[in-house]
Amino acid sequence: MQLLVSVANPTEACDAVEGGADIVDAKDPSTGALGAVAIDTLQEIYAAAGGRRVVSAALGDVSDEQGIEQLAYDYAGTGIGFVKVGFAGVTDPSCVERLIRAAIRGVRASSLRNCGVVAVAYADSGGTTSVQPTALVDIAARAGASGVLLDTADKGGPGLLRLVSSTALELWVAQAHEAGLTVALAGKLTADDFPLICETGADIVGVRGAACDDGRSSRVTEGKVRRLTESLQKGPPRGAAGAPLGS
């Protein structure tokens, strides 16, 4: 299993790399679960980590096809490995599929390398403010996405493992793998959660708050990342569950 650490700037990106993170994910934690950093900040993060790690970027929750196609084009052009797209407020499956296809068009038009698109489902939406996670797997596969992420939208609420049982997560991961998708799990996860996350068979575990000095709005530190890396290495062999996103 790979460790993804979300960072807000190039300094945090360097700490994530030195701490042993496999994937450095550009995200603005002050603007929600999938807050996008400014394009110049992404370029700085990529300059700091891109030669040493896969770099990804959150693009936010989207509802406009033209807007997400352009955004994906711009961000993929920096050379990153994959972009993450959410759909808070969009419950029509056909609309979500069109949005994913628009993001894919953008990265394919822009990227000189293979930049993947990851569709994000929220475990705390209850199916009322975004499509259900199981439905998103089928939609993402039809649209041609590289992977799916199950996260939490409300970072002040309960974490993923308080919302979804380990058995349900295993079934969701298996469904996504059967559809040919890479699978990431996130949502207020800590090192104590890693054994259960490893057992689900997911490919990637994502963190922000657990890698920070004092909660997700503070600073990512090398020491916190290193402890997470060491904890993850005690679980099943990393990479055993599937290929990295963007491959």
For 136, residues 6+ apart whose C-beta sits below 8 A from its C-beta are: 87, 96, 119, 121, 148
* 84 a catalytic residue: yes
* 27 a catalytic residue: yes
27: three-class secondary structure by DSSP: coil
For 201, residues 6+ apart whose C-beta sits below 8 A from its C-beta are: 170, 173, 174, 177, 183, 241
- Chain-centre distance of CA 161, in angstroms? 17
Write out the catalytic residue numbers: 27, 84
